[in-house]
Amino acid sequence: MQQQAQQDDYTRRLKRLDCCAVSDALDKLGLPGTVTGLPQRSGSQRIAGRAVTVKLVEAKAHAVALAAAPATNGAPRHLGTTAVEFAGPGDVIVVEQRTGLDAGSWGGILSLGASLRGIEGVIADGPVRDIDEARQYEFPVFARALTAFTARNRVAEAGTNVPVNVGSVSVQPGDYVIADNSAVIFIAAQEIERVLAAAEQIAGKEAAMAKKLLNGVPIAQVMGADYEYMLENHG
């Protein structure tokens, strides 16, 4: 219970920051995690939470793998539905669809289902479809591209809550995520405390600088040596 409360506190602290401050903190600490080129396609709010991951692969390759595997009982599941059922408030679904195929990695019914469960949003390294529906639900979706092409017979789900890649970043289930109109950022769970501490310090310094500007201090003075060396790690 205490660990869960601490995790929730991390998410609350992350939501008070923006991606630029968190990216600066990663730079200061020499850590990877910032991904650009995934614009917000629906919703207007910044999102933050824990990653629930989905890995998609080319359907033909997946069919070959299934044919070689032992038979399993039960009807096939649509991609993304396992993640939606697993996730809830405080979770962000992160989808890898890097097959190169123009095929939706996320769609309108999934957006509605995720919205009803209180999921924070979706980040897709690949195309998504039905974006007008996501906008109608005001459900945040960040995606590499938009498409009308269905996933059927094109891509299939290889796994839920498995390691995925987004941009140049490897994402593990349970890693922390923050996304806004500047970037999408992933923070390894074991690094969250020191990244938050550095980002909060940076955000505090920038707030103080803004206050000085509003009080009439010249901008060259405000953005002097302290700002230029702000990301240096002095231990």
Task: Give me the pLDDT at residue 77, please.
Answer: 74
pLDDT tens readout for residues 168-219? 999 999 999 999 999 999 999 999 999 999 999 999 999 988 999 999 999 9
Q: How far apart are CA 95 and CA 53, in angstroms?
A: 6
No. of helices (H) and no. of strands (E), the chain:
9, 11
Domains and CATH numbers, the chain: 32-189 (3.50.30.40)
Asked if residues 131 and 146 have their Cβ atoms less than 8 Å apart, the reply is yes
Name which of 75, 74, 73, 113 is nearest 93 in CA terms: 113
pLDDT tens readout for residues 29-52? 999 999 999 999 999 999 999 999
Task: Give me the pLDDT at residue 7, please.
Answer: 55
